[in-house]
């Protein structure tokens, strides 16, 4: 894991970079970008490893510190689902689709692994 400052258009960001699972993970300003041989893939809210926008996937190993949504509740695009802590930073994982929170596969205090499916949203 490496930490550095990155300046873009006059704005300075604290960036944490780490190689995991053959991919380069860049974490900054509450966002995560995953770079793989196929190209970059933004996980801005954050289903980085999921092929389905309804799946909320752990973008890295970490600990679930807050569950924001209840099972079977309606969620909108951008609604926070869970917050996890990894590498001394907090990452809020949000809905990428509008629907109902159909599955919640984690609980507060649980350690999760890279790529673990934490929740699933079913489109309405």
**Under CATH, to which class is 2-123 assigned?**
mainly beta
The pTM for the full model equals 0.63
Q: Tell me which of 31 and 117 has the higher pLDDT.
A: 117
Res. 68: pLDDT tops 50: yes
Write down the pLDDT at residue 41. Answer: 46
Q: In what order do the strands lie in the sheet with 111-112?
A: 89-94, 80-86, 62-67, 111-112
88 vs 59: CA distance, rounded Å? 14
Write down the pLDDT at residue 51. Answer: 55
pLDDT tens track for 19-46: 776 777 787 777 777 777 654 444 444 4
Write down the pLDDT at residue 40. Answer: 44
């Amino acid at each position: 894991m490496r930490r550095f400052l990155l300046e873009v258009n006059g704005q300075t960001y604290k960036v944490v970079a780490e190689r995991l699972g053959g991919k380069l993970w860049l974490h900054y300003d509450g966002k995560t970008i995953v770079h793989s041989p196929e190209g970059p893939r933004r996980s801005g809210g954050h289903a980085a490893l999921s092929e389905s926008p309804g799946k909320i996937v752990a973008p890295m190993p970490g600990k679930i510190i807050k569950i924001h949504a209840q099972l079977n509740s309606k969620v909108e695009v951008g609604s926070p689902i869970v917050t996890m802590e990894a590498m001394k930073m907090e990452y809020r994982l949000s809905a990428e689709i509008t629907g109902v929170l159909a599955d919640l596969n984690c609980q507060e205090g649980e350690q999760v692994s890279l790529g673990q499916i934490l929740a699933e949203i079913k489109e309405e």
